[in-house]
Amino acid sequence: MFSAEMKVGIVAKFVFLHINRYYTQIFVFFIALSMVIVITLSFAMYYIYKSAAVREITGISEETLSRSSYYSEFVFNLTTYFAVDIYLDNNIIDFFNLKAEDPIVESRAKKGLARRKSAYPFIYSVSVYNSNLGKIVGTNIMSQSISNYTDKKLTRILKDSLIGNYMLLPRKISNDQGNVSINVLTMILVEPGTGESKSQNAIIIDIFESSFREQNTTDGLLKNNMKFIVNDDGVVMTHTDSKEFIKSYISHEYLQQILKSNTKKGSMRKKINGTEYLITYIKNDSLKWTIISLYPSGRITESSRKMLIQITFVCAIICSASLLLSFILSKRLYKPVNRLVNAVSGDKAFTEHRNGTNEIDWILDMYYEKSRKAEIFHD
């Protein structure tokens, strides 16, 4: 009844009807799926990047703090060697052994201190104290009685003959003109008395606070972050902001947590005055110091958001290109079927036999009619 070409056309038309019915729905589905994929990938990459940034910053901070810890200990040891060198100087020994005032011995001691100090640029001043005379001689002061000494805190330590070594004492002192405040860490080495002697001579060395602070600055990823050193009492020994020097941070919750912790190094995220920070710390057991770095978490979030926008943009371009490509390919695959349908639709015999009915209904009617005739024939 139909030619082979017409039969193929009927099948093609049947396929065409189904494709045409669901084509728009399928395409919309793939657009929605692509958007879900873009959003999922973007947020996944956002959190991956953010976690990686936190790990990188923590790692760099720990490495920087380790170097600062080693350097601080190096400066401390170098100062100790300097103190021993002074203690073995004959001019200083003569000054310590004075029982009565001797301007010549005192002058020699002052010159000896100045000569040895010149080899240590990180030292601001060095002085020696004779407890028998109650006099102090130094590179930045003339020989004078301890009662006339302007530094009352140091005077109290020396006059009260406090036994022990004040390894590093944070102080603010005035320069020679008395118009500039200088931040120093003072090492006080007290000589214990021997036998019946209660003599406690002392060496006082003032180290520039900046000698430690300069090693706590860094460039690159951690540029301009806050770093500082505190002792076991929570007193700031050095800080990237010199105004914070000698302040007490012991009331800060995060510092209490760090000082109570048994771990030698670690990191945490805490809010300080309403701002969240990534806090990294390392403890130096030799100096009994804790070196701390504060990095604003907002910088990580801001950087991650920029990355999220870039990733979303790239993913959107890729998905759009994929959808466009799939649309073009589907159109190309659709053309042969469409040509067959158009060819058969233009066939006069096919049109007459259809009688204007739906193709699927027509095929079903034909199948039903053929089956009915077969049943009558067998009967």
297 C-beta neighbours (distance < 10 Å), count? 18
**Interval 28-33 mean pLDDT:** 70
Kindly report the average pLDDT of the chain as a whole number: 74
Could you tell me where the DSSP H helices lie in the chain? 4-87, 90-96, 103-117, 152-159, 210-213, 253-260, 297-345, 348-354, 359-378
What's the pTM value of the predicted model, to 2 decimals?
A: 0.66
Q: What is the pLDDT of residue 195?
A: 45
Find the angle CA(223)-CA(228)-CA(233) to the nearest 5 degrees. 165
Q: What is the pLDDT of residue 259?
A: 92
Whether pLDDT at 194 is above 70: no
Whether pLDDT at 342 is above 80: no
Whether pLDDT at 81 is above 80: yes
Highest mean pLDDT among 14-18, 89-93, 218-222: 89-93
* More confident site: 137 or 369: 137
Q: What is the pLDDT of residue 163?
A: 47
Highest mean pLDDT among 56-70, 86-100, 364-378: 86-100
Residue-range domains of the chain with CATH: 78-212 (3.30.450)
**Interval 343-355 mean pLDDT:** 50
pLDDT digits (tens, 9 = 90+) for 144-193: 555 555 566 666 666 555 545 556 888 887 766 666 788 888 888 877 55
Contact status, residue 55 vs residue 62, Cβ threshold 8 Å: no
Q: Say how far apart CA 69 and CA 46 lie, in whole Å.
A: 34
Q: 136-140, 174-178, 290-294, 360-364: lowest mean pLDDT where?
A: 360-364
Both tokens of 163, joined, read 């036994």
Strand partners, 128: 137, 203
Give 65-69 contacts, CB < 8 A, sequence gap 24+: 65/227, 65/265, 65/280, 65/281, 65/282, 65/291, 65/292, 65/293, 66/282, 67/215, 68/212, 68/215, 68/216, 68/227, 68/229, 68/291, 69/282, 69/284, 69/289, 69/291
- How much of the chain, in percent, has pLDDT values that exceed 70? 59
Highest mean pLDDT among 26-30, 60-64, 305-309: 60-64
pLDDT digits (tens, 9 = 90+) for 232-278: 889 999 888 888 999 999 999 999 999 998 889 988 888 888 888 88
Burial class of residue 47 (count of CB atoms within 10 Å of its CB; 0-12, 13-18, 19+): exposed
Q: 15-24, 195-204, 311-320, 322-331: lowest mean pLDDT where?
A: 15-24
Whether pLDDT at 211 is above 80: yes
Q: What is the pLDDT of residue 258?
A: 92
- Distance (Å) of CA 308 to CA 26, 50, 52, 298: 29, 10, 14, 15
